[in-house]
Amino acid sequence: MTNTEIQILELSQLEYLPYINSKGKLPLSLQGKIGVYGIFDEVKKLLFIGYSRDVYQSIKVHLVRQPNSCYWLKVQTIEGPNRSILEGIKAAWINENGSLPIGNSTAEAKWNQPIDVKQEMTEAEKVQYQDPLIDEVDKEKLLKNIARRVEANILEVLKTRGLQENIRFSPKLKASGILDLK
């Protein structure tokens, strides 16, 4: 079956895959796979639908950005990259769901954008950051420290969930207040 003849599987036809397996790993079978994926919470409520040239890498990023929301997956893979087919599957799944998942609507930035640690500042950090006497070097140091705190919180949540994957954030982005995987 070629990509132009691909059968779109309904979400209800697909098996739930655990996001983190009993060994603490993400589904390695998805590494390098092109496809559409649905992410579900603990009670199997659909929260996000995405597509990617490497489903494994994408779900790893979503797990870091939304560590308390990623519990189950449903995936349909295709052979070669074809945006119109991927978008067609995504649209069919949204239609089957009956509404746009929260991660594709009001919470889209939290699922698709790197973590902006400025949104995680305490009141004291906000005051310090906005102090007109603080120079750019000190602002960068402050943002790095906030990024380290947010990173530690994320890693702690993932550890309690049993994750055994290597998670590495880009050190260069921390100085600008951004957390994203390396």
52 and 7, same domain (yes or no): yes
Under a CB-based contact definition with an 8 Å cutoff, are residues 58 and 112 in contact?
Answer: no
Confidence of residue 4 (pLDDT cuts 50, 70, 90): low
Average pLDDT over residues 42-66: 98
- pLDDT for residue 82 is more than 50: yes
137 and 159, same domain (yes or no): yes
91 and 152, same domain (yes or no): no
DSSP 34: E
Domain count of the chain?
Answer: 2
Last residue of a domain, one of 111, 134, 168: 111
63 and 106, same domain (yes or no): yes
7 and 95, same domain (yes or no): yes
44 and 125, same domain (yes or no): no
Range of the domain at 77: 3-111
CA–CA separation, 39 and 9 (whole Å): 16
pLDDT digits 0-9 by tens, 104-130 = 999 999 999 999 999 999 999 999 999
123 and 136, same domain (yes or no): yes
Alpha carbon of residue 23 to chain centroid = 20
The pLDDT value recorded for residue 1 is 44
pLDDT, averaged across the chain: 95
139 and 154, same domain (yes or no): yes
133 and 106, same domain (yes or no): no
In the chain, what is the greatest distance between 2 CA atoms, to the nearest angstrom?
Answer: 65
Average pLDDT over residues 21-40: 97
Average pLDDT over residues 26-32: 97
125 and 81, same domain (yes or no): no
Last residue of a domain, one of 51, 79, 111: 111
pTM for this predicted structure: 0.92
Last residue of a domain, one of 111, 127, 152: 111
66 and 128, same domain (yes or no): no
Average pLDDT over residues 154-174: 96
105 and 27, same domain (yes or no): yes
We report the CATH number of the domain holding residue 61 as 3.40.1440.10
Cβ partners under 8 Å of residue 154, min gap 6: 64, 67, 115, 167, 179
